[in-house]
């Protein structure tokens, strides 16, 4: 008889424990959920277009213009003809041109996206992806142009702007 009472007491204790832990977990979850700040949404007020002068050339996804698979970028994206993609020199990453940054290119319509990066030897340079159309890339050539890219505005006031 004492074994049955012992088992019943253990079952009751387990039931109480599960109810308490459920309530505790629910309370913790709701507190965490309510206290979390909503993620910031990038709007026109929080973003700004920055202009920079670069040397621009063009490239294709054909064998001989790069190492390995010509359709795979340095960040692992797969290129398809018709995509608005650019490769950037690595020094431009320090200026805010990072993976998937939207870019406007003077002389071309549409928004391009940073999906590839170039060898370390290149400085202040972009390569515009032109699919498999080698003649179009040759016709573009190499030129100095202005590009605008989207960056998040700094919440601090720029001291240089205040001085001017």
89-119: pLDDT as tens digits: 999 999 999 999 999 999 999 999 999 999 9
Question: Do 90 and 135 reside in the same domain of the chain?
Answer: yes
Instruction: Say what the pLDDT of residue 4 is.
Output: 76
> Is 160 among the domain residues?
no
What the block records as the tokens of 133 is 């159309």
Query: What is the rounded CA–CA span in Å between residue 148 and residue 48?
Result: 9
DSSP of 90-132, one letter per residue? GGGGGGT--TT-EEEETTS-SEEEEEEE--TT--SEEEEE-TT
Query: What is the rounded CA–CA span in Å between residue 125 and residue 64?
Result: 20
Q: Is this structure's pTM higher than 0.95?
A: no
Question: Do 20 and 87 reside in the same domain of the chain?
Answer: no
Question: Do 55 and 109 reside in the same domain of the chain?
Answer: yes
Domain span at residue 55? Answer: 47-152
Residue 87 CA from chain centroid, whole number? 14
Instruction: Say what the pLDDT of residue 93 is.
Output: 94
In the chain, the number of structural domains is 2
Question: Do 79 and 117 reside in the same domain of the chain?
Answer: yes
Instruction: Say what the pLDDT of residue 109 is.
Output: 94
Instruction: Say what the pLDDT of residue 7 is.
Output: 74
> Is 113 among the domain residues?
yes
Report residues of the chain scoring pLDDT below 50: 158-160, 162, 164
Nearest to 86 by CA among 72, 109, 102: 102
Question: Which CATH number is 131's domain given?
Answer: 2.40.40.10
Instruction: Say what the pLDDT of residue 136 is.
Output: 94
Instruction: Say what the pLDDT of residue 69 is.
Output: 87
Query: What is the rounded CA–CA span in Å between residue 60 and residue 132?
Result: 5
Question: Do 30 and 65 reside in the same domain of the chain?
Answer: no
Q: Residue holding tokens 């700094």? A: 154
Question: Do 142 and 64 reside in the same domain of the chain?
Answer: yes
Instruction: Say what the pLDDT of residue 31 is.
Output: 56
Question: Do 96 and 26 reside in the same domain of the chain?
Answer: no
Question: Do 19 and 94 reside in the same domain of the chain?
Answer: no
Question: Do 66 and 147 reside in the same domain of the chain?
Answer: yes
Instruction: Say what the pLDDT of residue 47 is.
Output: 83
């Amino acid at each position: 008889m004492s074994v049955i009472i012992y088992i019943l007491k253990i079952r009751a204790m387990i039931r109480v424990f599960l109810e308490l832990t459920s309530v505790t977990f629910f309370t913790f979850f709701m507190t965490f959920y309510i206290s979390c700040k909503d993620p910031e949404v990038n709007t026109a007020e929080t973003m700004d277009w920055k202009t920079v002068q670069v040397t621009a050339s063009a490239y294709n996804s054909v064998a001989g213009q790069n190492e390995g698979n010509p359709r795979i970028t340095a960040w692992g994206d797969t290129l398809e003809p018709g995509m608005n993609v650019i490769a950037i020199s690595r020094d431009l990453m320090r200026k805010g041109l990072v993976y998937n940054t939207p870019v406007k290119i003077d002389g071309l319509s549409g928004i391009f996206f940073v999906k590839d990066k170039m060898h370390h030897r290149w400085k202040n340079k972009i390569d515009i992806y032109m699919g498999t159309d080698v003649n179009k890339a040759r016709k573009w050539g190499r030129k100095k142009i202005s590009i605008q890219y989207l960056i998040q505005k700094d919440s601090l006031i720029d001291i240089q702007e205040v001085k001017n």
